[in-house]
Amino acid sequence: EGEDETDVLLRQYGLGRDEEDVIERYENAMAAFDDEEEQEEINIAIVGRPNVGKSSLLNNIFGGQRAIVSDVAGTTRDSIDAVMERPAPPGSDKAPTTYRFVDTAGIRRKGKVEFGPEFFMVNRALRAIRRADVALLVMDATAGVTEQDR
């Protein structure tokens, strides 16, 4: 009934499978992935103008020297990732939550950015914002909200 010589040989050696059996095994294998609890990761981009304290904020959150801090604008040239894991509540079957903080280079107004290292620094910072679930805007309290912060 529709079997050729190859099908007969495969079945004879226990290798042949009918279509329904293959589909059922595939669906069972894929369902196993549904049962796995995925660890949630929340991406948080720390953004703002140059020298407003983005790296200092990251260091304070993590309680250590994760990023270099200086009075010189432009010290952070590339995005720095720092990961923190919050365990699941006791007695819960939930997976822990992971927070990925991304300290970015300071972003200046588009017209003030020249092609070169600063251009790429700003583009990486903008890419971090696009990837982020949360964008944490850091502002200089002494300067107030500037036009660029808006």
Q: Summarize pLDDT for 94-110 with one digit per residue, the tens.
A: 888 899 998 887 776 66
Q: Which residue has the higher pLDDT, 38 or 58?
A: 58
- The 8-class DSSP code of residue 110 comes to G
Both tokens of 106, joined, read 């300071």
What is the pTM for the complete model shown?
0.61
The structure tokens listed for 144 are: 């107030």
Token duo for residue 83: 């990961």
- Reference 58, options 43, 46, 49; nearest CA is 46
pLDDT of residue 1: 56
Nearest 5 degrees, angle CA 77-CA 78-CA 82? 130
